[in-house]
Amino acid sequence: MRPRMSSFVSFARPLVNTGVLAAGVIASLASLASLASLASLASLASREARADVPPPASFALDLAGVRQGFVRATVGPDKSAPAQQRLVLTAQDVAPSLATLVQTFAQSKIVKRDIRLTSGAVVRKANDGRLASVKLPSLGSGGAADVELGFLVAAVTTQPLLSAKEAPPSPASARITGFRVDLTGMNAIEAPKLDAITITQKPDGTAATGDVAIEVAAGGAPPFVAWQKSSAARSTPRSMHVEYIGIDGAVILELRLDRCTPSSVTPLGASGTTRIVLACAGVRGS
């Protein structure tokens, strides 16, 4: 047991001069604040020095004068188009106008927009940016359900925000929290996981995507096994419809993948789920 403090310590006669103590505390806090400021400046200088890997930042996004909400933004060289830069915008919440943009892109239509990113008193601009890729989120694995838009731009300029007018309000938007999927000619599918789907456009504007992977719940594999083993599998492709939904079950984004056939059907062991990989020849917005 801790011994009780002796009564000879009198609060009327403190052992420490409180004025000196207060001054010392203030000086220490000032020193810590100065060190923190220096560390912050050093960190900023380090990030500025690494121009090839700019830090993500939050911006209010306007596309062709239409407010889309808030995004993170990164910019860097594009390997497929060395004369241009790739501006990647990552949205956690999807406004209806942004969903329409994705649908238009998936319908093999060329999408070009003037891009304006505002943060505090700074605005970054890129004129006539062409949407080159859309990455829809992986779901069921616990990661961020963000939508990524990749624009090809000639340059991104930065300048002070000179206008003092009040910024327009952010549009109503929704966050993707789940998905529904179905395949033509098959019973309803219970699929707990969906891999990210990246849509790109060929030079002629035709939308395309790579393999699409889902995990089906225990007992859901037999129809896919039969489909894969069938000698007619390649001649009987199916369409796949994916709905990205919000917490209330409302559809935020839709995607239709055409002429899909199974590339692999892999049981995942103790979980009882099965990983299905599909190759789809076409993609379009619903």
pLDDT tens, residue by residue, 86-120: 999 999 999 999 999 999 999 999 999 999 999 88
pLDDT at 171: 83
Phi, psi of 130 (to 5 degrees): -100, 125
| Residue type present at position 122 | V
Instruction: Please state, in angstroms and rounded to a whole number, the distance separating the CA atoms of residues 30 and 156.
Output: 39
pLDDT at 21: 33
Residue by residue, pLDDT tens for the chain (286 residues) are 334 333 222 223 333 333 433 344 334 434 434 434 334 333 333 333 332 333 355 899 999 999 999 999 999 988 877 889 999 999 999 999 999 999 999 999 999 999 999 988 889 999 999 999 999 999 998 888 999 999 999 999 999 887 666 667 778 899 999 999 999 988 888 899 999 999 999 888 899 999 999 999 988 889 998 888 875 556 688 999 999 999 999 999 999 999 999 999 999 877 789 999 999 999 987 6
Distance of CA 76 to the CA centre of its chain: 17
Residue 117, both tokens: 């990113």
* Domain 178-285 belongs in CATH node 2.30.110.20: yes
Fold of 57-160: Elongation Factor Tu (Ef-tu); domain 3 (2.40.30)
**Shared fold status for 57-160 and 178-285:** no
Residue in this structure with the two tokens 């604040």, named with its chain if needed: 33
Residue in this structure with the two tokens 């379009």, named with its chain if needed: 284
Helix spans in the chain (H)? 18-49, 96-106, 222-229
What's the number of CA atoms in the CB half-sphere (13 Å) around residue 188? 2
Interior angle at CA 230, CA 228 and CA 232, nearest 5: 110
Instruction: Please state, in angstroms and rounded to a whole number, the distance separating the CA atoms of residues 64 and 228.
Output: 46
Domain coordinates of the chain in residue numbers?
57-160, 178-285
